């Protein structure tokens, strides 16, 4: 049984086993099921596919496949991170930050009353870039982000709005 393979040490089928639906004969009965599963013991991800097939003179049989998709899930997480964060500062970029802010401000009135939005513009960045070079300007930005990140809580976040402009959301 699949539960022995997926959950070593388990002695019976999973309480939420979707395979029971595969064997019922109703008009809404699915003939194939597919889902993704992460193993808590190893952290690995699997795509599980199950179907019912007609077996030679034996009636119906359960066919299940299990594919390791850990690398795909890691790649998806990396793509998500690259799409949502500013490459230099590793804080949210403007596009993703705007969406996250929009969702936060759609909260109920009581939650909104406890939220603070700060706009920060780093004065003098152009002068530092002109006098000391862009590497020095980048270092200044990174130092400011490092300090700001150490001062905010887990539910708070920073968005790089533009070159030297940042939005800090305090929940």
pLDDT, position 170: 92
Contact (CB, 8 A) for 118 and 167: yes
Whether 23 shows a pLDDT value over 70: the answer reads no
Residue 27, classified by CB atoms within 10 Å of its CB into exposed (0-12), middle (13-18) or buried (19+), is exposed
Say what percent of the chain tops pLDDT 90. Answer: 51
pLDDT digits (tens, 9 = 90+) for 132-162: 999 999 999 999 999 999 999 998 999 999 9
Positions marked catalytic: 164
What is the predicted pLDDT for the residue at 108?
75
What is the C-alpha end-to-end distance of the chain, expressed in Å?
A: 47
Q: Which of 14-18, 69-73, 111-115, 164-168 has the lowest mean pLDDT?
A: 14-18
Q: Is residue 21 scored above 70 in pLDDT? A: no
pLDDT band at 104 (very low <50, low <70, confident <90, very high): confident
27-82 tens-digit pLDDT? 665 678 888 989 888 999 999 888 877 777 777 777 888 899 999 999 999 999 99
Is the four-CA dihedral 88, 91, 95, 98 of positive or negative sign? negative
Length of the chain: 171
Model pTM score: 0.64
Q: Which pLDDT does position 26 carry in this prediction?
A: 62
Distance (Å, rounded) from C-alpha 47 to C-alpha 68?
7
Lookup: tokens for 140? 């200044």
* Average confidence (pLDDT) over 6-27: 71
Based on the number of CB atoms within 10 Å of its own CB, is 167 exposed (0-12), middle (13-18) or buried (19 or more)? Answer: buried
């Amino acid at each position: 049984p699949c539960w022995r393979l997926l959950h070593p040490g388990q002695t019976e089928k999973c309480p939420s086993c979707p395979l029971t639906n595969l064997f019922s004969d109703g008009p809404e009965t699915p003939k194939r099921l597919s889902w993704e599963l992460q193993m808590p013991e190893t952290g690995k991800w699997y795509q599980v596919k199950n179907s019912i097939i007609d077996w030679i003179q034996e009636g119906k049989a359960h066919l299940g496949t299990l594919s390791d998709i850990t690398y795909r899930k890691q790649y998806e997480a990396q793509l998500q991170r690259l799409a949502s964060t500013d490459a230099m500062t590793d804080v949210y970029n403007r596009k993703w930050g705007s969406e996250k802010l929009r969702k936060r401000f759609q909260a109920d009135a009581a939650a909104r009353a406890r939220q603070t939005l700060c706009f920060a513009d780093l004065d003098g960045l152009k002068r530092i870039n002109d006098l000391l070079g862009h590497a020095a300007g980048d270092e200044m930005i990174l130092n400011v982000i490092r300090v700001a990140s150490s001062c905010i809580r887990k539910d708070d976040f920073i968005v790089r709005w533009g070159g030297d402009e940042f939005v800090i959301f305090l929940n």
